[in-house]
Amino acid sequence: MTRDNAQRAMAALRAEIERHDELYYQRQAPVISDYDYDQLVKRLQALEAAFPELVTLDSPTQRIGGRPSDGFKPAAHRIPMMSLDNVYSSEELREWEARCRRLYNGAFDYVAELKIDGLSLSLRYADGLLTEAVTRGDGTTGDVVTENARTIRQIPLRLANPLAADMEARGEVYLPLSAFQRLNAALEAEGEKAFVNPRNAAAGTMKLLDARIVASRRLAMFCYELFADGAKPFETHWETLAWLRQAGFPVNPHARRCATLEEVLAYCADMERQRATRDYDTDGVVVKINQARAQQELGATAKAPRWAVAYKFAPMQARTRLRGVTWQVGRLGALTPVAELEPVFIAGTTVARASLHNEDQIQRLDARLGDLVIVEKSGDIIPQVVGVVVAERAGTEAPIVVPALCPGCPDRQVRLVRPEGEVAWRCPETRCPTKLRQRLQHFAARTAMDIEGLGEAAVDKLVREGLIADCADLYALTAEQVAALERLGDKSAQNLLAQIERSKTAGLERLLFALGIPDVGRRKAQLLAQHFGSLAALAAASEADLVAVRDIGPVTARRIREWLADDLNQRTLARLESAGVVTRLERPGSGTAARLTGKQFVLTGTLPTLTREEATARIEAAGGRVTSGVSKKTDYVVAGESPGSKLAKAEALGVAILDESGLLALLAEADGGAPPA
């Protein structure tokens, strides 16, 4: 690829990545999967590796973190990062207001903002470029975590119009609840310890030395404070928020300017009611006096400013009766106890089930059937039983007994086992139908082989009819078999088969994750795929070979080896291979059709040089498809002169829009021109 072509391709990729960042973070409306996003970044990285002189400081790849840092250096805050005083009731908030009025005679109003439950971060810009990010630390000195902060895609790496040579923005870094759940699921799948709550996860992530892992966890941020040359640049806090927003900083959209304390109180009540509907944890409302002048006069105590206060929400807990415990069987056979509760209303939803995690947790809580228990909810995370009200016991409560036989194996008597050192009981039966159903659902999941239409109901039917005993059986299904399934019409049967067919090209990384090998989550699947390059090479690997892979320890290596050595698994792998499932890593540039495979394009308007037929032919030659209507599944709309309503629709749906040169850049890059990664 020529330097010019590379530059164009890189510009197109950067624009596309930034567009997806915006859709993901500003509009919360992503149009591509995380996996596809990562592929875009990888393509850009590959190009940048080949043309290092074309790397720009504000390239999205600079957020990924090149190499692990060697620990964190401390840095002093020029202006201390103070904490806030808390109030817990409207009376206390009124007292705070009265104190402010006593100490300051002028007029003022308020800005009320959600208090995000995360960790505070200071971002420093020199001549508009992000140069340093520092954690709050003890308020005087924090850790320099610039590499990690760069991975937060919402944070501008460069300011278009800085107010001063020295700018500082402050805000709260948090982990969205959806990302928190994904992270914990992945950690658990890899046999690692899950985080207790999103705040711990965010704090733990910010302290990681490998920025690449930080990047994968998708931290987010809301900014709420600004200094220019060490001083507040605006007369009001409201103007500060407006400037931050237009400068590209993430600002929470729920901030409100309130003329009176009554308005503030109404806002607090609204926010507390809506608390459970957000994708991030909030633990209260920060109420600030809007006018900088009043703030200055009110000043601060040794610990906190007098002009701001945190109104704390009540904890999202409730008491209810524990009626029973259901033991759920996971895809690796682990049993999870789920508390069946007398339904109780907590923060906007009725809770009837809650997690009890494992047998040890039940013992720690000393929970018994019939107990009055404390249930806690954190956003939309699965509610948990966090305590027992022992004082309320009647004496008739019964102990919770772990079943001796697998509840997921109804036709056989299968004794559960608890391997030494593990917290969970497991079903050891390879033919356990519940494990099979869970494995198949995992195999078909969006992050695995991505077989749309193979959800819980379809899997249940296929397993019940005896059509499927492992994932390889999916590829042997016939149209008649699928159509004969109860209440599955011809059309959805065909769709399902088409989706199964399409999944053959999902690629080695996804396949290794989808197989459900113990300890192999998405990240390890990726590492294994890149290290071995093919399923055959992995299957032939010894324990020593596996340990040589970065981040694979001896325990994981043994588990992988055991899984691969299993007769049934070997047969499954052989059948997947002969069914035509892609089991080799497709390296960038190794095939022309690989790059845009499955991507859907829509053409609209007249392109400057290409006819519609030519454009279609070139897209198809690169593996893409051209369709007529714009939908959520459309990957790119190529717009020329006088585009029709398709362009408006694409904009409304947030579909990536290319002009002819953008298309040509994408095609040039897909045309095997990219260097191997």
Q: What share of the chain is helix, strand, coil (3-state, %, to 5)?
A: 40, 20, 40
CB 584 within 8 A of CB 446: no
Complex with Zn ion: residue 389 or 405, whichever CB lies closer? 405
What kind and span of H or E run contains 75? Answer: strand 74-76
**Closest CB 426 distance from Zn ion, rounded Å:** 9
Asked if 284 is part of the footprint of Zn ion (rule: CB under 5 A), the reply reads no
Asked if 1 is part of the footprint of Zn ion (rule: CB under 5 A), the reply reads no
CB 161 within 8 A of CB 216: no
Asked if 167 is part of the footprint of Zn ion (rule: CB under 5 A), the reply reads no
The correct pick among 46, 268, 432, 541 for binding Zn ion (CB under 5 A) is 432
Complex with Zn ion: residue 463 or 527, whichever CB lies closer? 463
Asked if 496 is part of the footprint of Zn ion (rule: CB under 5 A), the reply reads no
**Closest CB 383 distance from Zn ion, rounded Å:** 26
List the interface residues with Zn ion, window 39-98 (CB under 5 A): none
Complex with Zn ion: residue 43 or 439, whichever CB lies closer? 439
Residue 451: HSE in the Cβ half-sphere, 13 Å Cα cutoff: 30
| SS3 state of residue 91 | helix
Stretch that binds Zn ion, among 93-101, 366-374, 422-430, 594-602 (CB under 5 A): 422-430
Stretch that binds Zn ion, among 33-41, 419-427, 508-516, 524-532 (CB under 5 A): 419-427
DSSP state of 246: H
**Closest CB 326 distance from Zn ion, rounded Å:** 14
Q: Which of 628, 638, 630 is nearest to 667 (CA)?
A: 638
Q: Which residues are catalytic?
A: 115
DSSP state of 401: -
Which string of x and - marks every residue 548-587 that binds Zn ion (by CB under 5 A)? ----------------------------------------
**Residues 6 or more apart in contact with residue 92 via CB below 8 angstroms:** none
Complex with Zn ion: residue 215 or 432, whichever CB lies closer? 432
**Closest CB 358 distance from Zn ion, rounded Å:** 17
Stretch that binds Zn ion, among 21-29, 414-422, 509-517, 615-623 (CB under 5 A): 414-422
Q: How many residues does the chain have?
A: 677
Stretch that binds Zn ion, among 415-423, 428-436, 478-486, 516-524 (CB under 5 A): 428-436
Report how far apart, in Å, the C-alpha atoms of 507 and of each of 340, 471, 474, 541 are: 40, 15, 17, 20
Distance of alpha carbon 24 from its chain centroid, rounded?
Answer: 10
Q: Which of 146, 99, 96, 95 is nearest to 125 (CA)?
A: 146
Complex with Zn ion: residue 430 or 481, whichever CB lies closer? 430
**Closest CB 407 distance from Zn ion, rounded Å:** 8
List the interface residues with Zn ion, window 391-410 (CB under 5 A): 406, 408-409
Beta bridge partners of 305: 300
Stretch that binds Zn ion, among 99-107, 226-234, 273-281, 421-429 (CB under 5 A): 421-429
Query: Rounded to the nearest 5 degrees, what angle is found at the Cα of 161, between the Cα atoms of 119 and 80?
Result: 35
**Burial class, 670, CB count within 10 angstroms (exposed 0-12 / middle 13-18 / buried 19+):** buried
Stretch that binds Zn ion, among 73-81, 174-182, 355-363, 429-437 (CB under 5 A): 429-437
Backbone dihedral region of 594: left (phi > 0), alpha (psi from -120 to 50 degrees) or beta? alpha
Stretch that binds Zn ion, among 214-222, 376-384, 425-433, 498-506 (CB under 5 A): 425-433
DSSP state of 22: I
Asked if 427 is part of the footprint of Zn ion (rule: CB under 5 A), the reply reads yes
Report how far apart, in Å, the C-alpha atoms of 304 and of each of 84, 86, 301, 316, 464 are: 5, 10, 5, 26, 63
- CA 677/CA 675 separation, integer angstroms: 6
Complex with Zn ion: residue 383 or 408, whichever CB lies closer? 408
**Closest CB 411 distance from Zn ion, rounded Å:** 10
CB 332 within 8 A of CB 319: no
Which string of x and - marks every residue 358-397 that binds Zn ion (by CB under 5 A)? ----------------------------------------
Q: Which of 12, 15, 51, 64 is nearest to 669 (CA)?
A: 12
Q: From the CA atom positions of the chain, what is the Rg in Å?
A: 28
**Closest CB 473 distance from Zn ion, rounded Å:** 19
Complex with Zn ion: residue 214 or 416, whichever CB lies closer? 416
**Closest CB 330 distance from Zn ion, rounded Å:** 10
Complex with Zn ion: residue 408 or 588, whichever CB lies closer? 408
**Closest CB 428 distance from Zn ion, rounded Å:** 8
Complex with Zn ion: residue 331 or 599, whichever CB lies closer? 331
List the interface residues with Zn ion, window 195-234 (CB under 5 A): none
**Interface size with Zn ion, residues (CB under 5 A):** 7
Positions in the binding site for Zn ion (CB under 5 A): 406, 408-409, 414, 427, 429, 432
